[in-house]
Every structure is written in structure tokens, then in C-alpha cells.
Amino acid sequence: MIRVHLTITGKVQGVFFRKHTVEKAVDLGHLAGFVANEADGSVTVVAEGPENKINALIDWCHSGPSTAEVKKVQVEHEPYSGEFETFEVRY
């Protein structure tokens, strides 16, 4: 099990990026964490789960929903904590 902290920049707010990220995480299964909009216009994702599922989520974040225009996905690996039970939107 691994944990990543993603910062996604581009046209990623106002395009249902958070909603679609939750849907993707649920579809992939066995992922927990959150997605949130940031004041600077970026989106943050913190996700924990099996490495292959995390990698699939990262790959998806590089394009996001069809309405998004992702410019960059910064990936930081963090120690796995097991603190999350679900994957959700944080406000």
C-alpha cells in the first residue's frame, strides 16, 4: 500500500474534476483519500491504496474529465498512513 499527494494544475476547477476523480477512484476500487480545490486554482488529491491502483489514478489525472485542461500533475510520495476509509470530496 502506498500514498501519494498530487497537485494538478491547469483548467481543473469548474469542470467537475473533483466529482470525476471520486468516480474514478471508486471505479478503480480499494482507494481511499480525498480530492479538494485549492485557492490558487489547482486541485489536490491525496490517495492511498495498492500501487497499481494509485498509478492508474495518477495516469487518469494527467487528462482528467473531458472538460478539463490539465497542464501538470505533481506527484509526491508520502508514508502510507491508513487514515482514510473512503474516497471523498473535501471542501
Write out the catalytic residue numbers.
Answer: 18, 37
Q: Read off the pLDDT of residues 32-61 as tens digits, 9 standing for 90 and up.
A: 999 999 999 999 999 999 999 999 999 999
How many structural domains does the chain have? Answer: 1
Range of the domain at 39: 2-90
- Kindly report the CA angle at 53 between 52 and 54, in degrees rounded to 5? 90
* pLDDT for res 52: 98
Domain at 84, CATH number: 3.30.70.100
The helix (run of H) or strand (run of E) holding residue 77 is: strand 69-78
